[in-house]
Structure 1
Amino acid sequence: MNTTDLKDFLDAKVIQYNNPKFIESDPIQIPHQFNKKEDIEISGFLTATIAWGNRKSIINNAKRLMGLLDNSPFDFVVNHSETDLEKLIPFVHRTFNGHDSIQFIKSLRHVYKNHGGLEAIFSKYSDTESLQVSISKLKSIFFEIDHLQRTQKHISDPLKNSAAKRINMFLRWMVRNDNAGVDFGIWKSLSPSKLSCPLDVHSGNVARKLGLLLRKQNDAKALLELDTSLRKLDINDPVKYDFALFGLGVFEGF
């Protein structure tokens, strides 16, 4: 199909999937349980961090993790004691275990107490094109305190050719604000035009079938190629098409 037909097709799919019904089966339901900005972003960040594998398992384990944080993630992050952290030790989601959880809580406290919070880091280090450099910078700040070496693998680095799917998904949640009721749009300092598509097996396969992506690997180079294609369809809000690609792949087996 030509570019106009492709845009019309994908725009219709965005409308089909970008609505509150989408929340029912998606990990984004976890931050939707909160109202306070810091609770939304911390619960969203932690949920996105474990968002790989079975979606039902992701949601169940994210709910469990929020319970371990007393369902007050920001308060727990900034005010926890060493004793408070002990209850996190049994937590596990695939290769993300209790010790990783504890490290994330400590690093998040460092982010909020010494760097002004997650949004401040992404805003400070974003460039004119995208947020990929700021993702890499977040990782370096996150682990500039004493940390477990093994935990570093749970934050991807786009500058080391990662597509950084989970953090790009988290950024979509925080930055996009189209009043559709799914994404939060609470980070006003960042433009949706800088967002990158959360590239995974489903969105990648659909993008290739539609001619939006040629590269076979789902890496940083593929992400740049896909972003370039999506920005031709909507330069101001390219990542709205994540709903279309994901929906076509997961719900329709396109």
Structure 2
Amino acid sequence: MTKAELKVFLDEKVVQYNHPKFLEDDPIQVPHQFSKKEDIEISGFLTATIAWGNRKSIINNAIRLMELLDNAPHDFIANHSETDLEKLLPFVHRTFNGMDLQYFVQSLKNIYHNHGGLESIFAKYQGEDSLQPAITELKKVFFELPHLQRTQKHVSDPIKGSAAKRINMFLRWMVRDNSTGVDFGLWKSLNPSQLSCPLDVHSGNVARKLKLLQRKQNDAKALAELDKNLRKLDSLDPVKYDFALFGLGVFEKF
């Protein structure tokens, strides 16, 4: 395929998969249950945090997590008591457990009370053409309270070589426009051109078959390579191709 043919092919797949029916089997359906900005942000962040493994299990556990937060995540985080935190202890999704969740709730309270919320952190530390530096800074802020060392593994850090798939997915949800009813477009202080593709086994394998990616590991260096090539196809909205790569991999076994 020539570059022009590849763009036509992928653009058609974006139209096919960047569609409300995408919500039916995707974790993004969980933040779509909310209308308040802070509820969407917090539910999206927590859902993205546990978004690895079986997608049905992810969705079911994210819904359960929202129930534990009284289906009012921002209010719970802003006003929870020690007793409220105790009821979170039984929660578990793979290696993310109730103690991790308790810290996430406390840290998010700190972020919304003392740092202006999640968007403010990303806006403050955004790079000119990338949000990867802001992810590193988010992790520093996120763990500025006393915490268990084990909990740190649940927030990725690009500077340590991570592709930060789940946070990049969350950023896609928050920043890309909502014209198709999939992503939210809530964060106006950031631009879709700064986003990076949520790189996982599916998008990575498809990208390699399409010669958008040569590096074998799905790490920060691979993400930079993929970002560079997707920006050649669409510099303003490169991460729209996440829908194409993911759809081709998961639904079409490309």
TM-score normalized with structure 2 length: 1.00
Identity %: 76
AA at the equivalent of 1:54: N
- Do residues 112 (structure 1) and 84 (structure 2) align? no
- Do residues 181 (structure 1) and 184 (structure 2) align? no
Provide Cα deviations, 1:143-197, integer angstroms capped at 9, x if missing partner: 0011111100000000001000000000000000050110000000000000000
Taking the TM superposition and a 5 Å limit, the aligned residue runs for 1:136-151 are 136-151=136-151
Taking the TM superposition and a 5 Å limit, the aligned residue runs for 1:1-254 are 1-254=1-254
How many Å separate the matches in 1 of 2:10 and 2:91? 39
How many Å separate the matches in 1 of 2:20 and 2:82? 38
Aligned-pair CA distance for 1:112: 0.4
Provide Cα deviations, 1:175-234, integer angstroms capped at 9, x if missing partner: 000501100000000000000000000000000000000000000000000000000000
Kindly tell me the number of residue pairs found equivalent between the two proteins: 254
How many Å separate the matches in 2 of 1:78 and 1:196? 30
- 5+ residue gaps, structure 1, are none
How many Å separate the matches in 2 of 1:131 and 1:8? 27
AA at the equivalent of 1:194: Q
AA at the equivalent of 2:161: N
How many Å separate the matches in 2 of 1:191 and 1:218? 24
AA at the equivalent of 1:168: N
How many Å separate the matches in 1 of 2:82 and 2:132? 33
How many Å separate the matches in 1 of 2:74 and 2:158? 27
How many Å separate the matches in 2 of 1:240 and 1:113? 33
How many Å separate the matches in 1 of 2:29 and 2:178? 17
How many Å separate the matches in 1 of 2:170 and 2:70? 22
How many Å separate the matches in 2 of 1:39 and 1:148? 26
TM-score normalized with structure 1 length: 1.00
AA at the equivalent of 1:226: L
Provide Cα deviations, 1:80-117, integer angstroms capped at 9, x if missing partner: 00110111000000000000000000000011001000
How many Å separate the matches in 1 of 2:56 and 2:116? 33
Aligned-pair CA distance for 1:43: 0.0
Instruction: Please state whether the residue corresponding to 1:212 is helix, strand or coil.
Output: coil
Provide Cα deviations, 1:40-91, integer angstroms capped at 9, x if missing partner: 0000000000000000000000000000000000000010001101110000
How many Å separate the matches in 1 of 2:27 and 2:87? 23
How many Å separate the matches in 1 of 2:140 and 2:82? 24
AA at the equivalent of 1:70: D
Give the RMSD, CA atoms, in angstroms: 0.4
- 5+ residue gaps, structure 2, are none
AA at the equivalent of 2:51: A
AA at the equivalent of 1:175: V
